[in-house]
């Protein structure tokens, strides 16, 4: 260290002498520049010292750390003992030696089930098998060497797990067994299991069926808004930023681990004030494994809504798929793939209010409110308007207005445009209709999802590993409007068509130069495209009614929204200016 500092000081002093011969005009900048160089030299020196005396930084997004201490029977540290960690399903093997304190560490180790063995001349070989190494964890395995021949072995198959003492982050790990066996709710979405994480609120759905076609769920952690969460797949960003939804949601059957960090997470998991959720997919092993599955739900087993008098709307839900994984080159190259299809055909029931036939004919007597004529008329029947010199109706002051006879508006006063709009609204369809809840209708909502994942792991050497993943999902949606192309006040629906495409991919490379120098490189991409159209998209429905100046292009096509003060709506105003 002194030598390095001495060289740096000598170089700086030399620099001072060289700048001293410059003119006085440059003296001040030269001194400032030398001071900056001195600061840089000190920074490099401190960095060198820290690199030499501190533990290596470890990327844990897709990997883990296995560490421990090797001791003899008396509890003394054993230095220079050879430690080997072997993944029991893929054959991946890494070796190192203990330091003077008997400590060893395998950083950036792929998650899996490992056998840890240590040996040194004069001691029996110690072996610990079935050690589960989980992503983003430090798994400690302490080993004890007993005196004896190195050809002898002491094998330990199980040991009580110790508390987390090697790191300070807080969170939870949701493993494959939990994801597959626990009830997951709609679409078997793993995000429902975030309910098990301390400090998290119950997972809930946000946004519409069309904008959130992947059925992403949200949760708030430690009192922070859901927008403070960070979502990842194998260390690659998976956030849809405008609504903070998870772009791609893998099938439950393809998930190995869901790592949820809620506080004190390591620096690589930045950009979060709530939780960091990182999903790890399954990988292939030296054995072939596969599965096929189907979950089915039908309306025949469901009750009909209490107020529904129509036949029950048929509903069918099918969730089915399969996965397979295994070796391409034993101990070297592995594959895993899965396919998922969801056919969701939902019958929807709506009950709402439409104008009764007496209202359609102008008789508003049943409404219980006196209807006053806002204009002057030529006779007591209010059938003919009085016009001014320019041909416009003459308004009457509110205090001087007179009611329509029998609360009935004469047909001669009906607007032709209003009649066209009224013709788009269906008649009541219940027995003895009242003023509300007099129209019932079954409609159908269709959503089909097709998704797949592919993953390849290549152990080129014990110290050189590649992992590649690509995922894709397509959702197609169709929500039937209640009034046909006229839309209508359908509850909780978009009344149109939509299609969403999602792609997510990543390549990860880990190279171990030495136990203290490991380089991990990761590149990834997430692509999200959502297109939704109203049921009347492309039509000139407003022009056909006589409402001009609305249907200017495809974006402004369809029927303009028509809203009454009580909320009744005609048209589908969800997309485009209305």
Among the residues of 162-239, which ranges form H helices?
176-181
- Stretch 410-439: mean pLDDT: 91
Q: Tokens 């022009």 identify what position?
A: 543
Least confident of 318-327, 361-370, 469-478: 361-370
CA distance 264 to 224: 15
In this predicted structure, what is the pLDDT of residue 555?
Answer: 87
Asked if pLDDT for residue 20 goes beyond 50, the answer is no
| DSSP for 424-442, written as a single string | TSPPP-SSS--SSS-EEEE
**Which residues of 81-184 form beta strands (DSSP E)?**
82-87, 93-97, 103-109, 112-119, 125-133, 138-140, 143-145, 153-156, 170-175
Confidence of residue 560 (pLDDT cuts 50, 70, 90): confident
Tell me the pLDDT tens digit for each residue of 73-97.
999 999 999 999 999 999 999 999 9
Least confident of 236-245, 339-348, 399-408, 438-447: 236-245
- Stretch 198-222: mean pLDDT: 90
Confidence of residue 363 (pLDDT cuts 50, 70, 90): very high
Asked if pLDDT for residue 571 goes beyond 70, the answer is no
Burial class (CB in 10 A: 0-12, 13-18, 19+), 65: buried
Quick one: CATH architecture of 64-164? Sandwich (2.60)
* Of 432 and 25, the one with more pLDDT: 432
Q: For residues 515 and 242, is the Cβ–Cβ distance under 8 A?
A: no
In this predicted structure, what is the pLDDT of residue 67?
Answer: 94
Provide the token pair at 456. Answer: 């390849």
Domain ranges of the chain: 2-53, 64-164, 168-281, 311-362+414-578, 365-413
Q: Which of 167-171, 182-186, 375-379 shows the highest mean pLDDT?
A: 375-379
Tell me the pLDDT tens digit for each residue of 478-492.
999 888 878 888 766
CATH class of 168-281: mainly beta
Asked if pLDDT for residue 46 goes beyond 80, the answer is no
Crossing angle for the helix pair 2-20 and 27-53, to the nearest 10 degrees: 170
Among the residues of 445-548, which ranges form H helices?
541-545
* Of 61 and 177, the one with more pLDDT: 177
- Stretch 133-156: mean pLDDT: 86
Mean pLDDT of the chain: 83
- Stretch 42-58: mean pLDDT: 41
**Whether the predicted model's global pTM rises above the 0.95 cut:** no
**3-state SS assignment for residue 518:** strand
Tell me the pLDDT tens digit for each residue of 255-280.
999 999 888 877 777 677 888 999 99
- Stretch 531-553: mean pLDDT: 89
- Stretch 99-119: mean pLDDT: 93
Least confident of 154-163, 443-452, 557-566: 154-163
**Which residues of 480-516 form beta strands (DSSP E)?**
496-514
Q: For residues 278 and 313, is the Cβ–Cβ distance under 8 A?
A: no
Asked if pLDDT for residue 166 goes beyond 80, the answer is no
Who contacts 414 (Cβ-Cβ below 8 Å, separation ≥6)?
362
In this predicted structure, what is the pLDDT of residue 30?
Answer: 41
């Amino acid at each position: 260290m002194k030598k390095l500092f001495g060289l740096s000081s000598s170089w700086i002093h030399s620099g001072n002498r060289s700048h001293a011969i410059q003119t006085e005009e440059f003296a001040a900048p030269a001194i400032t520049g030398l001071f900056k160089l001195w600061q840089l030299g000190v920074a490099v020196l401190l960095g060198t010292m820290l690199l030499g005396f501190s533990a290596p930084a470890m990327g844990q997004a897709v990997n883990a750390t296995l560490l421990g201490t090797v001791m003899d029977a008396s509890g003394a540290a054993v230095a220079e003992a050879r430690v080997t960690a072997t993944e029991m399903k893929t054959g991946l093997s890494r070796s190192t030696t203990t330091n003077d304190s008997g400590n060893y560490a395998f950083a950036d180790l792929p998650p899996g089930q490992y056998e840890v063995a240590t040996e040194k001349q004069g001691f029996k070989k110690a072996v610990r098998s079935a050690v589960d190494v989980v992503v983003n964890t430090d798994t400690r395995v302490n080993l004890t060497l007993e005196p004896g021949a190195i050809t002898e072995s002491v094998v330990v198959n199980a040991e009580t797990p110790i508390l987390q003492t090697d790191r300070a982050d807080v969170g939870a790990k949701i493993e494959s067994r939990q994801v597959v066996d626990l009830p997951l709710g709609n679409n078997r979405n793993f995000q429902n299991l975030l309910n098990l994480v301390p400090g998290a609120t119950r997972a809930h759905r946000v946004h519409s069926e069309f904008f959130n076609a992947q059925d992403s769920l949200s949760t708030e952690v430690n009192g922070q808004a859901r927008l403070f969460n960070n979502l990842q797949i194998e260390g690659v960003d998976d956030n849809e930023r405008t609504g903070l939804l998870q772009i791609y949601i893998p099938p439950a059957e393809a998930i190995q681990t869901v790592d949820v960090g809620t506080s004190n997470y390591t620096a690589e998991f930045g950009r979060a004030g709530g939780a960091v959720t990182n999903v790890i997919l399954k990988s292939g092993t030296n054995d072939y494994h596969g599965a096929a599955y189907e979950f089915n739900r039908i309306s025949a087993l469901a009750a009909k809504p209490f107020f529904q008098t129509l036949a029950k709307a048929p509903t069918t839900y099918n969730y089915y798929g399969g996965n397979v994984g295994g070796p391409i080159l034993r101990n070297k190259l592995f594959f895993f793939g899965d396919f998922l299809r969801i056919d969701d055909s939902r019958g929807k029931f709506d009950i709402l209010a439409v104008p009764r036939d007496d209202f359609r004919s102008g008789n508003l007597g049943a409404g219980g409110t006196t209807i006053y004529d806002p204009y002057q008329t030529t006779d007591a029947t209010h059938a003919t308007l009085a016009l001014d010199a320019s041909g416009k109706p003459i308004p009457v002051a509110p205090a001087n207005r007179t009611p329509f006879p029998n609360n009935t508006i004469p047909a001669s006063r009906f607007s032709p445009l209003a009649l066209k709009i009224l013709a788009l609204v269906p008649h009541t369809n219940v027995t003895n209709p009242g003023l509300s809840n007099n129209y019932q209708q079954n409609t159908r909502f269709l959503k089909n999802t097709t998704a797949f994942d592919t993953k390849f792991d290549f152990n080129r050497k014990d110290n050189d590993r590649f992992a590649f993943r690509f995922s894709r999902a397509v959702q197609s949606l169709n929500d039937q409007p209640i009034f046909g192309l006229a839309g209508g006040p359908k509850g909780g629906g978009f009344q149109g068509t939509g299609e969403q495409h999602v792609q997510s991919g990543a390549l990860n490379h880990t190279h171990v130069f030495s136990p203290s120098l490991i380089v991990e490189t990761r590149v990834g991409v997430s692509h999200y495209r959502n297109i939704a159209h109203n049921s009347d998209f492309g039509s000139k429905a407003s022009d056909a009614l006589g409402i001009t100046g609305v249907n200017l292009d495809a974006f402004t096509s369809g029927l303009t929204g028509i809203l009454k003060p009580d909320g009744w709506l005609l048209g589908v105003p969800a997309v485009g200016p209305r």
